[in-house]
A and B are shown apart, each in its own frame.
Chain A
C-alpha cells in the first residue's frame, strides 16, 4: 500500500512542478507566436517555422549541455567558441579528407577535449567556472580565426553530411530536429532517471555534502563540462551542415542566447535546479523573439538588447523563486 501511495505522490509532485514553470513558459511561447504572427506577415509561414526549427535545434543541443553544467553549479561561457571551433575543424577535415565520419568524429572529439580542459581547470585551479571559460572562449575565438583566416571554409558537398542538418527524415522532418530530439530523449533520461543525473543535481546544490556522501564531485564537474563541449561541438557541426560551409562566426556570441534560454527555462545559477523540458521552452522563446525581430526588420543590436534584457529578467525571476 505504501508502495502505491509513494508512487502516486511522486507523480503528483512531478505534475505540480510542471504545472507552474513549464506551463507558464509554454503560454508565453504561444502568446509570442500569436503576437508576432499579427505583427510580421512573413512570420506565420511553414518555411519560416522550418528555418526557426532547424536553427533552434542547434541552439537547443548546446543548451542541453549547458543545462547539465548549470545544474551542477557551474557555467560554460566557451560554448559559442566551441561551436565555431568544431564547425571549422569539421569543415576543414571535409575539405581535405572528404570523409564525413572522420570529420564529424574529429569535431566531436575537439569539443570533448576542450570540455575536459575546462573541467580540469575548474576543479584543479578551484577558480570560478565563469572566469575559466571566459579564458578558453577568448583562446578559442583566436584559434578559429587563425585556422580559417576569417574566411569561409567551403567543402565539396557530400550527401552523407546533409544528414547532420538539412536532409529530411521521410522527406518531412529536418535531420537537425531529429538529432535534437534524440539528444533530448537520452540526456533527459540520464538526468532524471539515472544515478549520475541525481549526482549532478546534488553536486550543484551542495558540493560538500555530496562529497561527504562519498560521491566524486570533481569527476561530476569534469564530466558535465565534457558533455557541454560535446553538445556544443555537435551543434557547431549541425550549423556547418545547414550552412553548407564552415564559418568562424557561427557560434560567436551565441553563449548569451544559450545561457539566457537555459536560465529562462528554470535552471538555477545557484545550482541543483533545472530540467531539459524547461530548457527547450526557453530556447523556443529566445528563438522566436530573435526570428520575429529579424522579420520586423530590427537590426541585430536591438536583438542583443532584447536578449540581454531577457537574461537579466530570467535571473531576477530565479532569485524571486528562491525566496
Chain B
C-alpha cells in the first residue's frame, strides 16, 4: 500500500488554474522528484500536501486512509514534514534550538512541561548525537544558524526532519544555491533518510541532482500533470522534453 496517495488534486487562485488534476503514489522508502518550469504548480502541490494551501478538489490518502489537511499542524500530525527553501530555520537560534523548535524538551515532568522549563542539556545531547548518527560534521553546535553556510543550514534542516519526520518528508529545492561539494553532501543525506525508511518528495530545478537520488519523476507543466516516469526507465532528455512541452502530452 502506498504511504501517500494523491488523487486528482485541483486548485485555482482567482482566475488562474494552478493545478488541473494531479495524482501520484509514494511508496514507503521511495523518493519522488517533482519537476517543471516556474509556475508549473510544483510549489502549490506541495503546499497543499503540507497544509499551507487548501485543495479545491481531490483526495489525499495516508496509508490508504483519506485524510483532511487544513493547516500545517494537520500535516505534521500525519507525519508529513516539509523543508521550505528559506523558511526551514530560525536564524537567531542555535542548532539544538532549531531542531527542537515547537517541540522543546523540558525538565521536571508534567509541571516542568506545563511551564515549559527548557532542558538545554538533553536537547544539546540529542542534537549532537543526531548529527553524529547522520555523519554530519558541524563544528559549532551553539552557533546561531545565521552564521552557518548554505550547505550547513540545509544539512541542519534535513537532520531536523530525520529527527521528527516519521513518514514523509517534502523538500523544496534542497540543493538550490549550493556549491558542488555542499550539494553532494545534501544528496548523500537525502539517501540516508531514504535508508531509514523515510519517503521523500523533492522539488528541484536541477535534473542532475534529481536523477542522482529519485526513484520516480513527476513532471508538471502549467498546472497539468504531463507524465510520471521511473528514474531508471527514462532519460534527462525525455524529462526536459516533457517539461518544455516538446514531447506529446500523455493522457492522465
Contact = CB atoms under 8 A, between A and B. Distances in A.
B125 to A, nearest CB: 5
A198 B120 contact: no
Nearest to B102: A213
Task: Determine which residue in A196, A206, A212, A271 has the highest number of CB atoms from chain B within 10 A of its CB, and name it.
Answer: A212
B209 interface: no
A298 B118 CA distance: 48
A3 B125 contact: yes
A195 B142 contact: no
A209 B88 contact: yes
A202 interface: yes
**Chain B interface residue number, banded:** 20 to 34
Contacts, number: 90
Interface stretch (B11-19, B90-98, B183-191): B90-98
B106 interface: yes
A295 interface: no
Interface in B168-222: none
Contacts of B22: none
A34 interface: no
Given A2-B129, A6-B128, A193-B118, A208 B87 contact: yes
B94 to A, nearest CB: 8
Contact of B121 (A6, A201, A206, A214): A6
A215 B97 CA distance: 14
Contact of A272 (B82, B90, B116, B120): B90
Interface string A192-229: 01111010011011101111111100000000000000
A212 B84 contact: yes
A215 B90 CA distance: 13
A310 to B, nearest CB: 24
Contacts of A206: 87, 89-92
Contacts of B132: 2
A13 B140 CA distance: 10
Task: Determine which residue in B90, B118, B129 has the highest number of CB atoms from chain A within 10 A of its CB, and name it.
Answer: B90
B65 interface: no
A205 B92 contact: yes
B118 A195 contact: yes
A120 B114 CA distance: 25
Interface in A262-300: 271-273
A146 interface: no
Contact of A13 (B73, B128, B129, B142): B142
Task: Determine which residue in B73, B82, B87 has the highest number of CB atoms from chain A within 10 A of its CB, and name it.
Answer: B87
B142 A210 contact: no
B101 A194 contact: no
Interface in A110-138: none
Contact of B101 (A9, A204, A210): A210
A267 to B, nearest CB: 12
B136 to A, nearest CB: 14
B101 A6 contact: no
Interface of B: 72-73, 76, 82, 84, 87-94, 97, 101-104, 106, 115-118, 120-121, 124-125, 128-129, 132, 141-142
The 10 closest A-B pairs by CB, nearest first: A195-B116, A272-B92, A213-B102, A6-B124, A205-B92, A13-B142, A213-B101, A214-B102, A206-B90, A194-B116
Given A206-B92, A209-B90, 14 more contacts: A2-B129, A6-B121, A7-B124, A10-B120, A198-B101, A202-B92, A202-B97, A204-B92, A205-B92, A206-B91, A212-B72, A213-B102, A271-B92, A272-B91
